[in-house]
Structure 1
Amino acid sequence: MPTLTKQSWSFMIGSTLFAVGAAVAIWDLGSANLTNVLCFIGAWFFTTAGLMQTILSGAPTKAVDYGTGRMFRAVWLAAFIQSVGTLLFNVSTSGALAARSIHAQEQFVWNPDAGGSVAFLISAAFVYVAYFRDRDTLWEPSQSGWWGAHINMLGCIAFGVSAVGAFVLANGSVENANVANWGTFIGALCFFFSSAIALPQLGWNRRNST
């Protein structure tokens, strides 16, 4: 059965694999194929965590006394959109192992990578909405969930910057390999710590009904 602890550990393992994969590229510790394999495996841990997060987030909608009478819950939207992003990273990391042409790199590596990064950014925005609906504030530095939300957003921004750096040029090279690798490395560390923060308490996720 999915649990919040299993979800957090899955994100942490996936983040570690992404960080190590990026470190291999940054400090030339191995081949590009090693980086691709580590990120490929890490993406599957992300996808597993994203699926558990969506299941644990509860019903997609809730009854309200205005409009159509129902509204989407921000916490579910955050989980679902992030889960879609993890699936896109699966496509991207799989493509990185198999792509043998510039067109394939564009279509099956960069496009889903960029799409996954956008999905993560949108998801992070809904995390703020969910937190505000639950706590009636966006300024609560004494709460670990507040720190987790901000660190998660920093990770999503870093992954977005990485996608910009990984843009495939006409000659098959990327726009800026250093930006791509460091963005992945920093983003992965942020996701690791935002998930680790949740482990001791996991409180606001459990209480949230927004």
Structure 2
Amino acid sequence: MAVLFAAGSLLFALGSVPGYVNAVGERGDTVTYFVGSLFFTAAAFLSYREAVDAAPDGLNPAHRRVFTFQPGRVDWWATAIQLLGTWYFNVSTGVATVQNLSATTAHQHVWRPDAIGSVCFLISSVLAWYEVCHGWSAWRPRSWSWWITLANLIGSIAFGVSAAAGYINPLTGQVHNAARADTQTLIGAICFLIGAVLLMPERTSKPAPV
């Protein structure tokens, strides 16, 4: 899961690096984002499955299905919403690989799912933060989980800013602020990469004292 999240983050970061699009072309750049989104989806699915497998006491493991509905658990909501967000990113980045899109199509099928996916990531990160902190705020620098959720929360905020800056006018097809969108995507991807790398020692460490 950590490797998949890291791979997706690296590809999103690469796609938003200044000069990359000039080196590989617009189509190569959009394909980079699309492949990165697939890594995100695979990682998010594993994260969701991990939450499902960590079922409450009394739930027979044999009854746990892939999409078990567990509305009383914050971690289930966080991982499910994150997975949903990656699907929207799949649509957004996949459609973006098509050449010569109309302004309306770009607005509806590139920007809109990107914005929804960013909102999903933000909601997911806020829920994960709430769960790790056992409230809305906490200072736990000795906890790997705390640092991971903090990095992901900052990354989700950056993705949200990127989506706002990347608004595509449905009449002209013009991007509101492409430079800011790329910069915020790069910041968000780096934050997600940090969170993914921290997952590796977090999986093998003992829980930090609360």
- Give the structure-2-normalised TM-score: 0.84
Q: Structure 2 vs 1, CA of residues 147 and 22 (structure 1 numbering), >3 Å: closer, same or farther?
A: same
Alignment RMSD (CA, Å): 2.5
Q: Which residue in the other structure is 1:15 paired with? A: 9
- For residue 48 of structure 2, the aligned residue among 44, 54, 67 is 54
Contact 1:25 1:35 in 2 (8 A): no
Q: Structure 2 vs 1, CA of residues 198 and 156 (structure 1 numbering), >3 Å: closer, same or farther?
A: same
Letter in 1 for 2:110: V
Contact 1:128 1:138 in 2 (8 A): no
Asked if residue 30 in structure 1 is aligned to residue 58 in structure 2, the reply is no
Asked if residue 84 in structure 1 is aligned to residue 78 in structure 2, the reply is no
Question: Where in structure 2 are there 5+ consecutive unaligned residues?
Answer: 58-69
For 1:150-165, list aligned pairs within 5 A: 150-165=150-165
How far apart, in 1, do the equivalents of 2:92 and 2:71 lie? 32
Asked if residue 123 in structure 1 is aligned to residue 124 in structure 2, the reply is yes
- Partner of 1:13, secondary structure, is helix
**Across the two proteins, how many residue pairs are aligned to each other?**
193
The CA deviation at 1:142 is 1.8
For 1:60-71, list aligned pairs within 5 A: 62=56
- Give the structure-1-normalised TM-score: 0.84
Q: Structure 2 vs 1, CA of residues 71 and 85 (structure 1 numbering), >3 Å: closer, same or farther?
A: closer
The CA deviation at 1:29 is 3.3
The CA deviation at 1:200 is 1.1
Counting aligned pairs with the same residue, the percent is 34
Q: Which residue in the other structure is 2:199 paired with? A: 198
Stretches of 4+ aligned residues off by more than 4 angstroms:
24-27, 59-63
Q: Which residue in the other structure is 1:75 paired with? A: 75
- Partner of 1:58, secondary structure, is helix
How far apart, in 2, do the equivalents of 1:46 and 1:95 lie? 17
Cα deviation code 1:46-86 (max 9, x no counterpart): 000011100011269758xxxxxx85211111111000000
- Partner of 1:200, secondary structure, is helix
